Structure 1
Amino acid sequence: MSRFTPVIWPKVVLFGDSITQFSFQTGGWGADIANKLQRKCDVVNRGLSGYNSRWAKILLPRLIDSQNSAENRNIAAVTVFFGANDCALEDKNPQQHVPLQEYSDNLKEISRLLTSAGVSADRVIFITPPPLHEPAWEKECILKGYPLNRHNSVAGQYAQACVQAAAQCGTDVLDLWTLMQKDGQDYTVYLSDGLHLSEKGNQFVADHLWVLLESRVAHLPFILPYWGDVDSKSPESSLLCDQ
């Protein structure tokens, strides 16, 4: 039997809460990134609806094995997108709430865990929670039988903590909370229910994230030959050789 080298796709890992989990829906920001990276990179969705940074920190070693350094070298980038649940008000939603200082510490620990697994800080992008539209989110809360459990001003505090943690860890950061409200623009168009992203919000995230992500994946080659370059008389010579 002839021997050949397996084809290995680099990875971009999206790690976060529901805003990440839902990003592979039609028009989602994760789907947009995956489309841009066809035949160059696998985009892996590790979004976990309802999760906070406390749970993420505990779970991360099960998602990215620190002992598998060879595989982790193929990780081109990791996005870390938590905070929308951490910033829930403690008295209204104690299960998801994480105190501000602990949230900051958790992000730093996530960065440390990634580094120890062989994913250096320059391959990590923190993403802050987006702004919150309280009237719309309150309607969602009431429908589920509980009072408004988040405030935009509090989400802003967590966004600021995320930006500061990124600076201390040496990672890039996408500050959605600030960008979506820049120059007094109507940020509500970016939200579907006051908390999660609308179609415009998903496109906003995709466009701004790509600015940060592109430099990390620009060097990645097109995987396997273009069909027109395959030798039709001897396809094995094209398809089983190292690029």
Structure 2
Amino acid sequence: MLSPEREGERERERTPEHVGETHALTSQENGVVIIWFGANDAALETNKVQHVPVPVYTETLKTMVAHFTEAGVPSDRVVLMSPPPVNDATYMDQFCKPRSIDPVDRTRERTGDYVDACGSVAKELGTRFVHLYKAFAAEQEGLTPDSYNGLFVDGLHLSNRGQKVVSKALSATLKGEGEEQTDISPESMPFWFPHWSTLVAYDAEQ
């Protein structure tokens, strides 16, 4: 049996090889690939199972994007979504304390490093980018602390209200504005969302 540390390393090593089949997507002219990673990866070094160093996270995103663009998906049909912010106080009280996680293994500030890395990859590779950090900051303006807390279940995972913030930001990015306005209609796109277990089991030789 592998140690938790090695198990986490092995899973990260496998991830680029198991990002899934693309034939179902590339056959659709109006298909869009959405890549959303980082919330778990942004765990601090004390979380040896989930922590992924920023350079590894960056290279993994590049590998994922290349997987799709090399299969024929235009780069402007690939969307990178940044991780959302961590609500520090709520995360400590509602997630860490009940699980006896001490010290706290993730923070809003550290997550910002992964947000920046995701944005840099999007800019470098010419993909679309959904800046969820900014989207939640904009949503926070004018809200009471309790109301803002309602965007999260436990400071990390999003509530239904929080998911609506994500949906709004994603839809705006797909449609674009002004000269960057597109003909992409989220309502008309095919839905392709394979379960994570099928991606891990995917055989690259098939």
Does the TM-score normalized on the shorter chain lie above 0.5? yes
Q: Tell me what 1:37 maps to.
A: none
Letter paired with 2:65: S
SS of the residue aligned with 1:80? Answer: strand
Which structure dedicates a bigger proportion of its chain to strand? 1
Cα 1:219–1:201, aligned 2, differ >3 Å: closer, same or farther? closer
Equivalent of 1:175 in 94, 119, 131: 131
Matched, 1:122 2:76: yes
1:212 CA displacement: 2.1
Matched, 1:161 2:117: yes
1:159 CA displacement: 0.3
Cα 1:112–1:194, aligned 2, differ >3 Å: closer, same or farther? same
Q: Tell me what 1:59 maps to.
A: 18
Matched, 1:85 2:40: yes
| Greater RCO (Cα-Cα under 8 Å, separation 6 or more) | 2
Q: Tell me what 1:143 maps to.
A: 98
Letter paired with 1:163: G
- RMSD between aligned residues: 2.8
Letter paired with 2:82: T
Matched, 1:217 2:148: no
In the alignment, is the contact (CA less than 8 A) between 1:84 and 1:129 conserved in 2? yes
Greater shift in the superposed pair: 165-174 or 114-123:
114-123
Q: Residues of 1 paired with 2:106 and 2:186: CA distance?
A: 41
Please give the residue correspondences for 1:18-37 in structure 2 after superposition, counting only pairs within 5 Å.
none
Cα 1:123–1:183, aligned 2, differ >3 Å: closer, same or farther? closer
User: Deviation string for 1:155-178 (max 9, x for gaps)?
Assistant: 011101111110001001011112
User: Deviation string for 1:126-167 (max 9, x for gaps)?
Assistant: 110111012211231221232221010000111011111100
Cα 1:155–1:146, aligned 2, differ >3 Å: closer, same or farther? same
In the alignment, is the contact (CA less than 8 A) between 1:77 and 1:216 conserved in 2? no
In the alignment, is the contact (CA less than 8 A) between 1:53 and 1:86 conserved in 2? no
Cα 1:162–1:222, aligned 2, differ >3 Å: closer, same or farther? closer
Q: Residues of 1 paired with 2:89 and 2:149: CA distance?
A: 10
Percent identity over paired residues: 30
Consecutive unaligned residues of structure 2, counting only runs of 5 or more, are 1-10, 176-181, 191-206
Query: Computing the radius of gyration over CA atoms, which structure comes out larger, 1 or 2?
Result: 1
In the alignment, is the contact (CA less than 8 A) between 1:76 and 1:216 conserved in 2? no
In the alignment, is the contact (CA less than 8 A) between 1:124 and 1:171 conserved in 2? yes
Cα 1:218–1:154, aligned 2, differ >3 Å: closer, same or farther? same
Matched, 1:101 2:55: yes
TM-score by length of 1: 0.61
Runs of 4+ in 1 over 6 A off after TM superposition: 219-223
TM-score by length of 2: 0.71
Equivalent of 1:207 in 168, 179, 184: 168
Q: Residues of 2 paired with 1:120 and 1:191: CA distance?
A: 34
Size of the aligned set, in residue pairs, is: 166
SS of the residue aligned with 1:88? Answer: coil
